[in-house]
Amino acid sequence: MRILMSNQYRTSNSKGLVNKEKIINFTFNGDSYQGYEGDTLASALIANGIHLVGRSFKYHRPRGFLGAGVEEPNAMVQLHEGDRSEPNIMATEVELVEGLKAKSQNCWPSVKFDIGEINNILNRFFPAGFYYKTFMWPKSFWFKVYEPFIRKAAGMGVAPLSPDPDRYEHNYEHCDVLVVGSGPSGLSSALAAAKNGARVILAEDKAHFGGSLLNDDVTIGNMSGREWASDVISQLKNMPNVVVKSRSQVFGYYDHNMTVMFERVSDHLENSSKYTPRQRLHYIRAGEVIVSTGSIERPISFGNNDRPGIFLASAAREYMKVYETLVGKKPIIFTNNDSAYATALEFIKNDIKPIIVDTRDNSDGQLVKEVQEQGINIRFNSGIANTKGHLKIKSATIGTLDNQKENFISLAEVDCDCICMSGGWTPTVHLSSQAGNKLKFNEDIDAFVPDKKRQKETAVGSANGAFTLNQSLAEGFQVGFELSNKFTSNDIKTDTPISNEPDQKPHEKLWCMPLPNGQKPKRFIDFQNDVAVSDVELALREGFRSIEHVKRYTTLGMAGDQGKTSNLNGLQYVSNIEKKIVPEVGHTTFRPPYTPVTIGTIVGREVGNHYLPTRKSPVHTWHEENNAVFVAAGLWVRPRYYPRGTETMNDAVNREAANVRKNVGICDVTTLGKIDIKGPDAPEFLNRVYTNAWLKLPVGKARYGVMLREDGMVFDDGTTSRLSENHFHMTTTTAQAANVLSHLEYYLQVVWPDLDVNVLSTTEQWAGVAVAGPKSRELLSKLFPDVDLSNEGLPFMGLVDTKLGDIPARIYRISFSGELAFEVNVESNYGLHLWKKIMDVGSELGVQPYGTEALSTLRIEMGHVAGPELDGRNIPYDVGLNGMVSQKKDFIGKRSLSKEAFVSEDRQTIVGLVPVDKKSKIPEGSHLVADDKAPTPIPKLGHVSSSCWSVEYNNPFSIAIIKDGKKQIGKQLIAVSPLKDISIPVEVVSSHYVDPKGERVRS
């Protein structure tokens, strides 16, 4: 590792915003460098004379910096190492922080010698549409040949494989006026709105407020632009109705004035505390949005205009004025307008005399005159034809243009170490366009500006095409005041201060230089995606006309930078060739995000255990202490089984299920959905909701119910009890609890508002314990000695209110396992107490807890349907519930049941399956066929919905739903699982495998 200490490219006279007292150490491609506090990675590298930072996407051409901010298309780096490693970061957006490690990407083995550069030499084989043309055929080549090749060749950075160790947050904000961008128009609109009393949020992407005021030599009032900016910011920061955010990019504008902003909270801090988020996502619902996002300078297309050392003129000026960094010491300024002369003057201020090449015939703008007064000869009516310098620009070929400006008439090579180009300015209309604003073309500035708005969004300043400071300030103060007046009654208007700036003459409508005679250097339009003028020509030659098609065919503007510097030049070129004006060509659509956003920020805190809420039963701690293996059931965490010693899952499940069949087991059923239903029309309501009859259910009795959707499919099932005349307690499956509640509310509020019924979820209010098995009555008798639990005292489907000590408790005589069983409910807070009591008194009876697996085994053996059978595709007949369907009354979904297909004789029905060898387990989801050797497609008879190991018969058993099921009983079929590549001969039996007469539950 070399240690390089230089900073030899610092300005001598520009006064910027870096702190030369504080040195920051960092590495780039393994070499150590030093920069200053306040530098970006880009400015620090440039100050150390480093311009070669990466390789281009398609041709692997050496690339340096073009811009100084979000517009940067080239300088993408990989930041940090290990699990914090992050690809595709714009070096211009990274604030320098001690110990920062960055490296180039898209190059191998190194940025200076890159194998992929052969693509550049072979570039005639990589024209526009290359991927489409080459990787079409044969189809079988896609996975093995084409895709790996494209991925390798096109690979940008590398994503880390380990979890992101940093913390990200989300925040919701509301304000009256959101101001995006803190240039002159943003500051003035924020100040005007805030002084009028509106709640204002001002967001600035950069570390410093002020936008163009940091780079332009202007005065506002009696202050410099930069002083005025910091004065306004300090005023705003002291106002209680204002939130001022730097390092915050508003990147998305969605419906109903919902904007999304990400804030770099601690990326720039050397140390931050553990709980400080790295980045924060703000959802801002704004009453009005003021888009003061400024403008981005346009490049000019000329031969080899992509070499390291070729900058936007405004970026070169920003490097000098903000970062005290020189992009070169032998500059050429190449422009079609006046604004680049400010960059020339800044060089001159630092005792560097630039060569100036201007495509125009002349200009007598104030900045031009000031440059001329410095004795500098301006080469008007000239352009750059080509450049040289492999890893860094060394020279430029400058030529005089003919009268039509379509050819060079004389060419001369001039040494240089940088070119600062300016093709004028493009308003940053992305947010307005995202908001649905129909843009219009402004021919004075040759760019699109916001026009007809769809949302409450107003562009001001140069984002609105107002390119002078006077206009920007006037618009800002006016719009800020007017919009804030919608939210306050103060009517306080702030005067626009007097400002002073150099006047500028019109630009020339020329953005693409002719080719030098006999040469065909690439003239790039889109730097990030390597799209050159010749690619656009090719696309048009091949018949692409729509700008959206040209975009996709050439990939112009489709890279991560979304064409911030390339879109308009591409459009302009298409319109030149097509001899149309730009507005006829139209523009492509702007979509969020405006700049790349980390996945971590989008995800926020919703990772790991925070991804979803976790619901735990009050008995959860006991389950944990007793070695439960848990399973997710929706949001709930339920015990799946409780292994002992070296038991496998199968061992444990079989033991737990068998213990219920011969002794007694207990299961935590707290998760079942519970809905309290009250009102004089409650019986009538249940009668409409369920397929069976409910009007005559006696108080103190429970009944099993099935509910359908209107399309006749089974929606849910459960046991509902009548607690008093007008009071019912409904239970639902764990999975459908929330949906059933919404379903009930829908019918009560929307369909039958005349019914006087209230429904309320009480799932969380009750803890439930199922006590199942032949010894369950004996167990509960010990716990409730005063309650008559006999068949006479508490018959099947009865319930009784009682007390466990002082605690109110309710005992239901219901069964899911098919055994003699009870369910005890107490208030949730006593759930753990109840559970422990049962375990206590049941120990001498051999009580054991059983989890969801044993619960499944028990219900599958009995042929009771559950989620896998009630999958929304079966009517009651299909799952053996036809006996539950009342013929006398109407109910939700009944009309569907009489449709032709639903009364068909050979409909699918539920059956049981036993493997012929009594050993092979049948995978759930297997298909059932008559002959697995038949020619494909083999007719499918049905599928296996649930499988278990029958503890009653000690062999595998499954439930299946098959065509004409009743007629298949006794036959032999094949269960085929193509996933597991197995075929199992099975015998079709009744789904009621154990206790088909249902005697045990009534015992």
Partner 1 sequence: MLEIKCPYCGKRSQNEFSYGGDGTIKRPALGEEISTKDWDDFVYFRDNPRGKHTELWQHVSGCRQWFKASRDTATHEIFSTCKMNEDFNE
**Secondary structure class of 454 (helix, strand, coil):** coil
From the list 182-190, 657-665, 855-863, 894-902, the region that binds partner 1 by CB under 8 A is 894-902
Nearer to partner 1 (CB atom), residue 87 or residue 679:
679
Q: Which of 1, 695, 750, 979 is the binder for partner 1 (CB under 8 A)?
A: 750
Helix, strand, coil % in the chain, rounded to nearest 5: 25, 30, 45
Q: Is 896 in the site for partner 1 (CB under 8 A)?
A: yes
Q: Which of 489, 742, 887, 936 is the binder for partner 1 (CB under 8 A)?
A: 742
Are the C-beta atoms of 730 and 795 separated by less than 8 Å? no
For residues 271 to 290, the per-residue mask of contacts with partner 1, x marking binding by CB under 8 A and - elsewhere, is: ------------x-x-----
**Secondary structure class of 403 (helix, strand, coil):** coil
Strand pairing of 982-989 and 972-977? antiparallel
Tokens of 129: 């549409």
Radius of gyration of the chain (CA): 38
From the list 35-43, 216-224, 569-577, 896-904, the region that binds partner 1 by CB under 8 A is 896-904
375: region left, alpha or beta (phi > 0 left; psi from -120 to 50 alpha): left
Work out the burial of residue 28: count CB atoms within 10 Å of its CB; fewer than 13 is exposed, 13-18 middle, 19 or more buried: buried
Q: Is 257 in the site for partner 1 (CB under 8 A)?
A: yes
Q: Alpha helix locations (H) across 485-566?
A: 533-541, 547-554
Q: Is 436 in the site for partner 1 (CB under 8 A)?
A: yes
Least distance in angstroms from the C-beta of 175 to partner 1: 14
Q: Is 916 in the site for partner 1 (CB under 8 A)?
A: no
Q: Which of 112, 369, 438, 454 is the binder for partner 1 (CB under 8 A)?
A: 454
From the list 313-321, 332-340, 690-698, 742-750, the region that binds partner 1 by CB under 8 A is 742-750
For residue 334, what are the β-bridge partners?
357, 421
Nearer to partner 1 (CB atom), residue 455 or residue 828:
455
Q: Is 754 in the site for partner 1 (CB under 8 A)?
A: no
Q: What are phi and psi of 769, to 5 degrees?
A: -130, 120
Least distance in angstroms from the C-beta of 112 to partner 1: 48
From the list 85-93, 253-261, 442-450, 497-505, the region that binds partner 1 by CB under 8 A is 253-261
Nearer to partner 1 (CB atom), residue 255 or residue 495:
255
Residue 358 CA to residue 381 CA, distance in Å, equals 6
Are the C-beta atoms of 77 and 104 separated by less than 8 Å? yes
Amino acid symbol at 575: S
Least distance in angstroms from the C-beta of 317 to partner 1: 40
Q: Which of 22, 112, 836, 895 is the binder for partner 1 (CB under 8 A)?
A: 895
Least distance in angstroms from the C-beta of 747 to partner 1: 9
Half-sphere exposure (CA, 13 Å, Cβ side) for 432?
Answer: 26
From the list 323-331, 729-737, 887-895, 974-982, the region that binds partner 1 by CB under 8 A is 887-895
Q: Is 606 in the site for partner 1 (CB under 8 A)?
A: no
Judged by CB under 8 A, the chain residues 297 through 336 that form the site for partner 1 are none
Q: How far is CA 216 from the centre of its chain?
A: 38
Residue 230 CA to residue 240 CA, distance in Å, equals 18
Least distance in angstroms from the C-beta of 738 to partner 1: 8
From the list 70-78, 471-479, 496-504, 739-747, the region that binds partner 1 by CB under 8 A is 739-747
Least distance in angstroms from the C-beta of 253 to partner 1: 12
Nearer to partner 1 (CB atom), residue 280 or residue 775:
280
Q: Which of 98, 351, 548, 710 is the binder for partner 1 (CB under 8 A)?
A: 710
Least distance in angstroms from the C-beta of 743 to partner 1: 11
From the list 95-103, 181-189, 546-554, 749-757, the region that binds partner 1 by CB under 8 A is 749-757
Least distance in angstroms from the C-beta of 897 to partner 1: 11
Q: Is 693 in the site for partner 1 (CB under 8 A)?
A: no
Strand pairing of 927-929 and 942-950? antiparallel
From the list 162-170, 248-256, 832-840, 962-970, the region that binds partner 1 by CB under 8 A is 248-256
At residue 449's C-alpha, the angle toward residues 447 and 454, to 5°, is 150
From the list 106-114, 216-224, 538-546, 747-755, the region that binds partner 1 by CB under 8 A is 747-755
Q: Is 749 in the site for partner 1 (CB under 8 A)?
A: yes
Q: Is 688 in the site for partner 1 (CB under 8 A)?
A: yes
Q: Is 32 in the site for partner 1 (CB under 8 A)?
A: no
Tokens of 730: 């409904």
Q: Is 890 in the site for partner 1 (CB under 8 A)?
A: yes
Strand pairing of 279-291 and 258-264? antiparallel
Are the C-beta atoms of 535 and 553 separated by less than 8 Å? no
Residue 302 CA to residue 511 CA, distance in Å, equals 9
Nearer to partner 1 (CB atom), residue 261 or residue 474:
261
Q: Is 805 in the site for partner 1 (CB under 8 A)?
A: no
Q: Which of 644, 873, 899, 940 is the binder for partner 1 (CB under 8 A)?
A: 899
Work out the burial of residue 751: count CB atoms within 10 Å of its CB; fewer than 13 is exposed, 13-18 middle, 19 or more buried: exposed
DSSP per-residue letters across 303-355: BTTTSTTEEEHHHHHHHHHTT-B-S-SSEEEEESSSTHHHHHHHHHHTT---E
Are the C-beta atoms of 850 and 623 separated by less than 8 Å? no
Q: Is 796 in the site for partner 1 (CB under 8 A)?
A: no
Least distance in angstroms from the C-beta of 896 to partner 1: 7
Q: Is the dihedral of CA 337, 341, 344, 346 positive or negative?
A: negative
Maximum Cα–Cα distance across the chain? 115
Nearer to partner 1 (CB atom), residue 212 or residue 691:
691
Are the C-beta atoms of 923 and 980 separated by less than 8 Å? yes
Residue 765 CA to residue 671 CA, distance in Å, equals 11
Total binding residues for partner 1 by CB under 8 A?
A: 26
Tokens of 23: 């040195």
Are the C-beta atoms of 399 and 382 separated by less than 8 Å? yes
Tokens of 13: 């006279």
Q: Which of 169, 231, 413, 711 is the binder for partner 1 (CB under 8 A)?
A: 711
What Å distances lie between residue 519 and 62, 245, 302, 385, CA to CA? 20, 50, 12, 10
Nearer to partner 1 (CB atom), residue 135 or residue 752:
752
- Under the rule (CB under 8 A), what is the footprint of partner 1? 172, 254-258, 283, 285, 436, 454, 688, 710-711, 742, 745-746, 749-751, 753, 890-891, 895-896, 899-900
